[in-house]
C-alpha cells in the first residue's frame, strides 16, 4: 500500500524478539496491533519489516479482502485488451498484480505495481519473480507519470493520501486512461450520519474480535492510524471520480465500512 502524503517521516525497526515495530517522531512506545506488528500513536507505516506479515494482517483486518481480489479479477475481464497496460497503486507484496498478470498473460503488455515502500517492492518482486509480464516500481504516486493504460486498480491505497492529493491522483489516472478504460477504487469509508457511523463502527469492532484480534490490539491499531488514514464518505469518493471526468461511476462492493467503486472513462 502506498503511503505517500502521510506528511511525517517514519521509520521502522525490528525489536529484539524480531517483531516489526513502526515508530514515528513524537509517538508513544509502540503497542501490539496483531500479526507480530506494533505501532505507536499516529505511527502506522508500511515500511521496514511490515511486509513480513502484511498479507496475514490485512486479510484479517478487512472483510472479504481475498474475495474482492477475485471480484477485481473478474472485473478486469471487461477492460483488458490486447497489449493492455495495467497499473496497481499501492501494490504492497504484489499479490493482486501477480494474479492479474497470470490471468491475462496472453493479452497484456505488462502489469505495473507501484508502491512507495522499498521493502514492499522488494518483496513483491521476489514473490512474483517467476510471473511474466509484471514489474514493480518504487515511486510516490504524486510524482509518478502514468503511461496510457486500460485499467488502474487502487485497493485500499488512496485513503492514506491527503484529500487534495487523492483528487490529483484520480485526475492523473483519468487523463491517461484510454476511452472505455476503468479505474477500480476500494476505500475505507465513513458514514455521513453519526448514528450510522457508530453502529457500523461497533460491527467492525466485533468483526476484528471475531477474527482473532484482542481488544488491546484493536485499540492500538485504531490509535496508530490517527491522522494517517482519513476516510471520505461514499458520496465524496464518487463525487471525486465524477469531478475527474468519469462518465460511469458505481458501487461494486460494500461490507461494513469498506467500499469498492468502478469508474469508466
Q: Which pLDDT belongs to residue 21?
A: 40
pTM for this model (two decimals): 0.85
Contact assessment for residue 159 and residue 185, using Cβ atoms and an 8 Å cutoff: no
- The residue assigned the cell 492514506 is 160
Helix, strand, coil percentages (3-state) for the chain, rounded to 5, are: 35, 25, 35
**DSSP 8-state symbol, 260:** E
Q: Which pLDDT belongs to residue 124?
A: 97
Element of type H or E holding 12: strand 10-14
Cα–Cα dist 3/159, whole Å: 9
Q: Which pLDDT belongs to residue 16?
A: 32
Beta bridge partners of 264: 182, 248
Domain boundaries, the chain: 65-189+230-264
Q: Which pLDDT belongs to residue 37?
A: 61
Q: Which pLDDT belongs to residue 49?
A: 76
Q: Which pLDDT belongs to residue 22?
A: 43
User: Span 65-189+230-264: which CATH code?
Assistant: 3.40.50.150
Q: pLDDT tens, position by position, for the chain (265 residues)?
A: 544 333 332 333 333 333 344 444 444 667 676 555 655 655 556 656 777 888 898 899 999 999 999 999 999 999 999 999 999 999 999 999 999 999 999 999 999 999 999 999 999 999 999 999 999 999 999 999 999 999 999 999 999 999 999 999 999 999 999 999 999 999 999 999 999 999 999 999 999 999 999 999 888 888 877 878 889 999 999 999 999 999 999 999 999 999 999 999 9
Q: Which pLDDT belongs to residue 44?
A: 53
Half-sphere exposure of 194 (CA within 13 A, CB side): 0
Cα–Cα dist 91/94, whole Å: 5
Amino acid at each position: 500500500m502506498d503511503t505517500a502524503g502521510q506528511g511525517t517521516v517514519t521509520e521502522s525497526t525490528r525489536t529484539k524478539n524480531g517483531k516489526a515495530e513502526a515508530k514515528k517522531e513524537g509517538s508513544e512506545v509502540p503497542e501490539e496491533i496483531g500479526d507480530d506488528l506494533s505501532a505507536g500513536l499516529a505511527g502506522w507505516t508500511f515500511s521496514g519489516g511490515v511486509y513480513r506479515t502484511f498479507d496475514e494482517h490485512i486479510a484479517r483486518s478487512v472483510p472479504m479482502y481475498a474475495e474482492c481480489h477475485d471480484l477485481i479479477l473478474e472485473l478486469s475481464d471487461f477492460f483488458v485488451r490486447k497489449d493492455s497496460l495495467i497499473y496497481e497503486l499501492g501494490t504492497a507484496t504484489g499479490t493482486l498484480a501477480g494474479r492479474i498478470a497470470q490471468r491475462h498473460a496472453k493479452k497484456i503488455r505488462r502489469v505495473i505495481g507501484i508502491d512507495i515502500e522499498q521493502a514492499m517492492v522488494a518483496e513483491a518482486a521476489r514473490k512474483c519473480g517467476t510471473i511474466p509480464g509484471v514489474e514493480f516500481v518504487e515511486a510516490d504516486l504524486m510524482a509518478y507519470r502514468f503511461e496510457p493504460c486500460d485499467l488502474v486498480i487502487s485497493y485500499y491505497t488512496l485513503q492514506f493520501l491527503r484529500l487534495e492529493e487523492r483528487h490529483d491522483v484520480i485526475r492523473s489516472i483519468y487523463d491517461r486512461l484510454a476511452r472505455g478504460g476503468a479505474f477500480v477504487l476500494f476505500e475505507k469509508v465513513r458514514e455521513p450520519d453519526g448514528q450510522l457511523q457508530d453502529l457500523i463502527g461497533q460491527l467492525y469492532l466485533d468483526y476484528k474480535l471475531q477474527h482473532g484480534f484482542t481488544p488491546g490490539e484493536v485499540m492500538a491499531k485504531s490509535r496508530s492510524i490517527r491522522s494517517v488514514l482519513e476516510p471520505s464518505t461514499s458520496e465524496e469518493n464518487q463525487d471525486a471520480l465524477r469531478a475527474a471526468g468519469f462518465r460511469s461511476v458505481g458501487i461494486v462492493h460494500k461490507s461494513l465500512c469498506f467500499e469498492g467503486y468502478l469508474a469508466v472513462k
